[in-house]
Amino acid sequence: MSVPEDLLELAAGYALGSLDEADRARVEALLASGKHPELNAAVAEFSEASALLATGAPSARPSPALKSRVMSAIVAESRPAPAAHTTAEVPPATERGRIVELKPRRTPMWVHAAWGTAVAASLVFGLVTWNETVRLGRELTAQRGQVSELQSKLTEEQRWSDVVTAPGTREAALQVTPDGQAEMSGRAIYDPKTRSAVIVFENVRVPSDKDLELWALKSDGVQSLGLLAADESGRVTLRIPDAGDPAAVAGFAVTIEKTGGSGNPTAPGGPIVLAGKFAPLQANNP
Amino acid sequence: MTGKDNDLECLRRIQAGDSAALGELYDRYTPLLYSLVLRILRSSADAEDALQEAWVQVWKRAASFDPARGSVGAWLTTVARTRALDRYRSLKSRSTAEGKVETDSIAPAPDPGQAASRSQLGVRVREALATLTPQQRAVLEIAYFEGLSQTEIASRVGAPLGTVKSWTRQGLMRLKELLPQEEWV
């Protein structure tokens, strides 16, 4: 099946990563639809051809130490996360006591007195045991609640982990502008399928009379995504459930605003201090 | 087993968590990939950082590779190029001097055997590029090594956007015709 020339042009630009935003979104939608296998084939062929351009670079080799750094980084990535601790630990089973059978006898008075004392003691003991049982029951209920909460948190963490590791995610490195503090940086990962984003900032310092506001950069403007709040180390991790339409979102930016933010969800009031756009997608979107 | 089969086997082992397989791909492809990222970034320190990030991404995203969309070699160059262009753009936005070029030391000469096989492929690619018009070659190289969009390229070369799109299509079609099935290494 021959490919229309306009689709071939789109396929070539897409494979080279040089399409403008709107064209790239259009190609991705066409590829995702599965209705144009000839387009998929053209993109694959053009991708192979464009990748060969790499051989035009002058030959060079890195330092030998690079390989060991790469392998160390791989090992660090592969290390499993520490197991989450749970307070819902099952207490060890108590050991059963040994039962001794008593033979029936004539009971002298002192035995009756002793029994009376024993009954009284057992009543007290029973009361104490009952109270302890109630206490343990309440504790178990509380622990079950904690387990349930931990499970919910784990599910939530897994969801955000899926955002970061999903195939087809878009990444943007946010770099500081002349209006920002030189050591600030940010990195955004956006999942077009869920529209969720995880953005991590480092070395963020906010003046006491200001706020930093995050914006989604779109093809038709900007959209506020809220204010940043850094911890003591200057690190901010934002989890954004809906960062916007994948056909429109192109990146993210941070502005410095008066306390409380710009007050306008579609128009910053202050200068941009950090900004970054998504890198162009390639055919085998890594 | 062909080079492509070897690459696919390595990728399959990487997906299964075999780091030695990544080491094999590293040895096979790093000279090409490093040359590429160094061409883009012009700094050995930045190039090594970008390439390290690229290999970590290969490790993490091996499962996302789709053989129907291209070869492992093409995928690896794409990962490395994307990382390099990311870094290039962030460095460019921070740099106060346009066109700043670092002159740090260049690595020792490459392994002759591998350099020879790469150079054969490089020779074929250069011969194919020589058959393009200067305009077709320029738009491909600007797009590939500088990561400019077609609109930016049109502005750079002073041509209409539609013309740049045509040159891009014609250039890649010519390369595709002349180099249909290449072994990468």
Establish if B127 belongs to a structural domain. Answer: yes
Does B74 reach chain A within 8 Å, measured CB to CB? Answer: yes
The count of structural domains within chain B is: 2
Number of domains forming the structure of chain A: 3
pTM, to two decimals = 0.54
Handedness of CA B20, A56, A20, B99 (dihedral sign): positive
Closest partner CB to A16 (pick from B94, B111, B144): B144
Answer yes or no: is pLDDT of A74 > 80: yes
A66·B48 Cβ contact <8 A: yes
Q: Is residue A96 part of a domain?
A: no
Q: Which residue has the higher pLDDT, A150 or A91?
A: A150
Q: Are A194 and A141 part of one and the same domain?
A: no
Distance CA B85, CA B83 (A): 6
Residue B160 is predicted with a pLDDT of: 95
Report pLDDT for B117: 52
Q: Is B115 on the interface with A (CB under 8 A)?
A: yes
Full residue range of the structural domain in which residue A153 is found:
125-162
The neighbour count for residue B112, using CB atoms within 10 Å, is 9
- Given a contact cutoff of 8 angstroms between Cβ atoms, the answer to whether A256 and A178 are in contact is no
Q: Which amino acid is at A178?
A: P
CB B144 within 8 A of CB A16: yes
* Shortest alpha-carbon distance between residue A6 and chain B (Å): 9
pLDDT in tens, A201-223: 888 888 878 889 999 999 889 99
Report the 10 Å Cβ neighbour count for A170: 20
pLDDT at A95: 42
Look at residue B31 and tell me if it is in a domain. yes
* Residue pair A170/A280 in contact by the 8 Å Cβ criterion: no
Does residue A93 sit within a domain?
Answer: no
- Residue A256 and residue A180: Cα distance in Å, rounded? 8
CB nearest to A63's CB, from B19, B23, B107: B107
Are residue B72 and residue B129 in the same domain, yes or no?
no
Q: pLDDT digit string (tens) for B34-82?
A: 999 999 999 999 999 999 999 999 999 999 898 877 889 999 999 999 9
Specify the higher pLDDT residue, A90 or A259: A259
Query: Which range marks the domain in which residue B83 is found?
Result: 1-95
If residue A190 lies in a helix (H) or strand (E), which one and from where to where? Answer: strand A185-191
Tell me the pLDDT tens digit for each residue of A93-152: 444 445 555 555 666 677 666 676 766 666 666 666 777 776 777 777 667 766 666 666
Q: Does B38 touch chain A (CB under 8 A)?
A: yes
The residue of A3, A14, A48 whose CB has the most chain B CBs within 10 angstroms, and thus the best one to mutate to test that interface, is: A48
Residue pLDDT, tens place only, B6-38: 899 999 999 999 999 999 999 999 999 999 999
Asked whether residue A37 is assigned to any structural domain, the reply reads yes
A158 and A177 belong to one structural domain? no
d(CA A198, CA A170): 11
Taking one residue from A and the other from B, the number of pairs with CB-CB distance under 8 angstroms is 229
Contact assignment for A55 to B125 by CB distance below 8 Å: yes
Give the pLDDT of residue A246: 86
Residue B22's CATH number = 1.10.1740.10
Residue A217 counted as domain residue: yes
* A79 within some domain: no
Structure confidence at residue A135 (pLDDT)? 75
Q: Which of A44, A57, A75 sits opposite B70 (nearest CB)?
A: A44
| pLDDT of A71 strictly over 60 | yes
Instruction: Check: CB of residue A286 under 8 Å from CB of residue A17.
Output: no
CB atoms within 10 A of CB A161: 13
Q: Let me know whether A230 and A259 are in one domain.
A: yes
Q: Is there a single domain that holds both residue B87 and residue B116? A: no
Judge whether residue A50 has pLDDT over 80: yes
- The letter for the amino acid at A144 is R
